[in-house]
């Protein structure tokens, strides 16, 4: 295995740019210049995407931007000692020691282990002080190679203190005394922890070492399971069973979470495991002593949104995350089904709905109906699409419940969604049913069931009771009132469609689609539109009008940001924003509103109002022109399902131009200082889907 770091990858006492993007780009360029990666832009993009998920600045003036990238051909470390330091998001100020950790996309376990050793070394004060005192690139390389095991040397304090990098559980050595308040039943607390990050290279092992060191310092029995990219060695089940509480310091799902079922749990992001290990331990001990503490749900497995949720979220934020999860899982059913229905109309004509099911059952390729091959294939596409669309409410409810209670919530959520359809309560009934099923399943899963019963909990007990409660409440009490509300709403929209008021509906939907760019308000408007498609027909065209207005308005923000940043006023946007603008052309054309999020996150008080104005213009024009869309997704690529397409295009162009010129005007005539304070608070409120 070749050396991971060389003198040519080291920069000492230099300034590589005014911000972290410039520093990462410069280090990526250094890796490419040494022939260890093929594309500096691709490596930067991968590292920057990781940085956007969670800043990589750490206490002590350290930053470790990192990524797995297809552009990397050889695992590499590029190091810079910056003068002055640059803010990487650490709580205690700028970073002066920056390592870019670049791993190939399919890096071997041995390579990942080397890179992970570096992360662990950074937790040692003598290692970082040695880097700050180094007088040459060669000295830096020697220090790093000794720490990561690529250079033989007599054990130094830094090298000797670095634990061998493996994914085996790490236990805190016993201490002579326990810190006050960290005992349980008169003995030192017993805590188990899991750490994991998105790449599984750096933060995973740094958090494991920080928690281990804090456990030793506080005199408790703490064992950590790092779940890294190269795999993990599961904690012995006996250690888990004897633990008083669990710490999940993770940014991704905990693998085989059901092993910890019933244990009091404290959840956080992986960086908190690095920065606040003592606080996490104190919270875990407090949870162990609290009979009402949050517990790991029975049967909790991988893939759970609940697994990465934190107890620090407000109820509003939790509900938002839950609903967005349900909608995101529902969209493939809707998009695929809607496009198939549109294809069915294209092949078989609008009359295909009259006897599509009979044609599919009674005819075949060798026994075509009277309408010929077009009618037969159109009927097949329509029936498959309608079947997929039939799962809309059930999938919405099922995955809302899944977001709350993990896998045990899926079955009761799907059942509740099906009951909502039975009761004609639509997608609102599905949302209510999914929430009921999820919270009931979560409550049951938190019960401290006897060990002999735990195996039955996720597959029998939880689905049975949660289905009875959630679906029973819908049938007995909630279904009919919700159905009445949906009936009133549909009747009102149908009546409005026959008057000039339909334009106002388009304006409102346009405003909603552009308010938070893929957030909950956007998703409510979209879910309302696609749910109506199931009731649409040649006689009831209102849902088609609504779908067209929603899709057209949702395309405006990314297209407008692309127009403004790449054509109208390039000098008003940063290089990164201009790159995002190029991508936003395709995203907008595909009806992916999230393409405007990078712009809104950086400048919300200019971008969002401008987007809403343009979206309102587009929604209103779409309704005024009577544009209909038979497809729920796809943007301009489903032109065959949009009628008249020219009016659809004109509506989008009008809104795009309005928004683009407004953004440019806002940037030119509203000074940044006038919005600086307001934007600081608004940034945290901008909805960005997970």
Compute the distance between CA of residue 564 and CA of residue 545 in angstroms, rounded to an integer: 29
CA 607-612-613 angle, to 5 degrees, is: 105
Compute the distance between CA of residue 637 and CA of residue 634 in angstroms, rounded to an integer: 5
66 is catalytic: yes
Which token pair is 360? Answer: 């599919």
- 266: helix, strand or coil: strand
Residue pair 543/640 in contact (Cβ under 8 Å)? The answer is no
Compute the distance between CA of residue 264 and CA of residue 286 in angstroms, rounded to an integer: 9
Residue pair 494/505 in contact (Cβ under 8 Å)? The answer is no
Q: Among 111, 197, 203, 633, which one carries the catalytic annotation?
A: 197
197 is catalytic: yes
Contacts of 35 (CB under 8 A, 6+ apart): 73
- 247: helix, strand or coil: strand
Tokens 């940044």: give the residue: 672
Compute the distance between CA of residue 209 and CA of residue 226 in angstroms, rounded to an integer: 9
Which token pair is 311? Answer: 């107890």
Residue 383 CA from chain centroid, whole number: 33
Tokens 């050396």: give the residue: 3
Residue pair 76/36 in contact (Cβ under 8 Å)? The answer is yes
Contacts of 626 (CB under 8 A, 6+ apart): 545, 647
* Helix, strand, coil percent values for the chain (each to nearest 5): 60, 10, 25
CA 255-257-259 angle, to 5 degrees, is: 120
Which residues is 643 bridged to in the sheet? 628
- 133: helix, strand or coil: helix
Which residues is 640 bridged to in the sheet? none
Which token pair is 280? Answer: 């996490």
Q: Among 66, 111, 203, 633, which one carries the catalytic annotation?
A: 66
Which residues is 252 bridged to in the sheet? none
In 3D space, the residue among 225, 268, 217, 270 whose CA is nearest the CA of residue 243 turns out to be 225
Backbone torsions φ then ψ of 191, nearest 5 degrees: -125, 140
The DSSP bridge pattern shows strands 95-104 and 76-86 to be antiparallel
Compute the distance between CA of residue 580 and CA of residue 635 in angstroms, rounded to an integer: 19
Residue pair 442/297 in contact (Cβ under 8 Å)? The answer is yes
Would you tell me how many other CB atoms lie within 10 Å of the CB of residue 572? 15
Exposed (0-12), middle (13-18) or buried (19+): which is 624, by Cβ within 10 Å? middle
Which token pair is 647? Answer: 């009016």
CA 428-429-432 angle, to 5 degrees, is: 90
Residue pair 74/98 in contact (Cβ under 8 Å)? The answer is no
DSSP collapsed to 3 states, 433-490 = HHHHHHHHHHHHHCCCCCHHHHCCHHHHHHHHHHHHHHHHHHHHHHHHHHHHHHHHHH
Q: State the catalytic residues.
A: 66, 197
């Amino acid at each position: 295995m070749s050396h991971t770091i060389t003198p040519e990858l080291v920069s000492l006492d230099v300034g590589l740019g005014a911000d972290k993007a410039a520093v990462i780009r410069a280090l990526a360029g250094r890796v490419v210049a040494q022939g260890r990666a093929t594309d500096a832009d691709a490596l930067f993009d991968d590292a920057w995407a990781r940085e956007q998920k969670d800043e990589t600045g750490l206490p002590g003036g350290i930053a470790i931007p990192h990524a797995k990238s297809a552009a990397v051909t050889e695992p590499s470390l590029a190091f810079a000692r910056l003068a002055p330091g640059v803010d990487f998001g650490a709580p205690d100020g700028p970073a002066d020691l920056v390592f870019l950790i670049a791993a190939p996309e399919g890096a071997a376990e041995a390579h990942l282990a080397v890179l992970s050793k570096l992360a662990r070394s950074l937790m040692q004060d003598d290692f970082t002080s040695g880097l700050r005192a180094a007088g040459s690139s060669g000295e830096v390389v020697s220090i790093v190679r000794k720490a990561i095991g690529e250079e033989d040397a007599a054990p130094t304090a830094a090298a000797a203190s670095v634990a061998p990098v493996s994914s085996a559980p790490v236990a805190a050595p016993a201490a002579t005394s326990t810190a006050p308040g960290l005992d349980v039943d008169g003995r030192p607390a017993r805590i188990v922890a899991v750490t994991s990050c998105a790449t599984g290279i750096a933060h995973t092992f740094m958090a494991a070492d920080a928690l281990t060191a804090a456990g030793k310092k506080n005199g408790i029995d703490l064992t950590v399971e790092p779940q890294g990219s190269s795999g993990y060695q599961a904690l012995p089940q006996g250690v888990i069973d004897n633990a008083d509480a669990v710490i999940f310091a993770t940014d991704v799902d905990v693998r085989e979470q059901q092993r910890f079922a019933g244990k009091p749990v404290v959840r956080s992001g992986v960086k908190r495991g690095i920065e606040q290990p003592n606080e996490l331990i104190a919270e875990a001990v407090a949870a162990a002593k609290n009979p009402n503490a949050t517990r790991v749900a029975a049967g909790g497995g991988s893939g759970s949104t609940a697994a990465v949720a934190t107890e620090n979220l407000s109820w509003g934020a939790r509900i938002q995350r839950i609903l967005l999860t349900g909608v995101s899982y529902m969209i493939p059913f809707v998009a695929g089904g809607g496009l198939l229905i549109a294809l069915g109309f294209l092949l078989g004509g609008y009359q295909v709905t009259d006897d599509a099911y009979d044609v599919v059952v009674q005819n075949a390729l060798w026994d075509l109906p009277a309408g010929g091959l077009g009618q037969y294939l159109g009927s097949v596409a329509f029936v498959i699409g309608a079947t997929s669309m039939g799962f809309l409410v059930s999938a919405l409810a099922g995955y809302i419940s899944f977001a709350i209670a993990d896998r045990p919530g899926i079955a009761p959520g799907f059942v509740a969604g099906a009951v909502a359809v039975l009761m004609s309560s639509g997608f609102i009934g599905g949302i209510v049913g999914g929430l009921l099923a999820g919270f009931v399943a979560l409550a049951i899963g938190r019960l401290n069931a006897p060990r002999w019963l735990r195996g039955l909990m996720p597959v029998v007990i939880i689905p049975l009771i949660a289905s009875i409660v959630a679906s029973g409440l819908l049938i007995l009490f909630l279904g009919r009132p919700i159905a009445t509300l949906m009936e009133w709403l549909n009747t009102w929209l149908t009546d409005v469609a026959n008057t000039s008021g339909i334009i106002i509906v388009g304006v409102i939907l346009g405003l909603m689609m552009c308010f938070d760019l893929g957030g909950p308000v956007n998703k409510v408007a979209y879910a309302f539109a696609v749910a109506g498609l199931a009731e649409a027909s040649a006689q009831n065209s209102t849902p088609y009008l609504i779908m067209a207005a929603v899709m057209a308005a949702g395309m405006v923000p990314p297209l407008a940001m692309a127009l403004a940043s790449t054509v109208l006023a390039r000098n008003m946007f940063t290089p990164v924003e201009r790159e995002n603008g190029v991508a936003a052309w395709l995203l907008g054309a595909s009806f992916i509103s999230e393409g405007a999020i990078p712009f809104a996150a950086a400048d919300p008080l200019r971008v969002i109002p401008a987007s809403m104005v343009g979206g309102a213009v587009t929604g209103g024009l779409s309704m005024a022109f009577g544009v209909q869309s038979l497809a729920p997704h796809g943007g301009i690529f489903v032109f065959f399902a949009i009628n008249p397409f020219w009016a659809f295009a004109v509506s989008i162009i009008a809104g795009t131009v309005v928004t683009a010129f407004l953004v440019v005007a806002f940037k030119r005539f509203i000074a940044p200082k006038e919005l600086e304070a307001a934007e600081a608070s608004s940034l945290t409120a901008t909805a960005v889907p997970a």
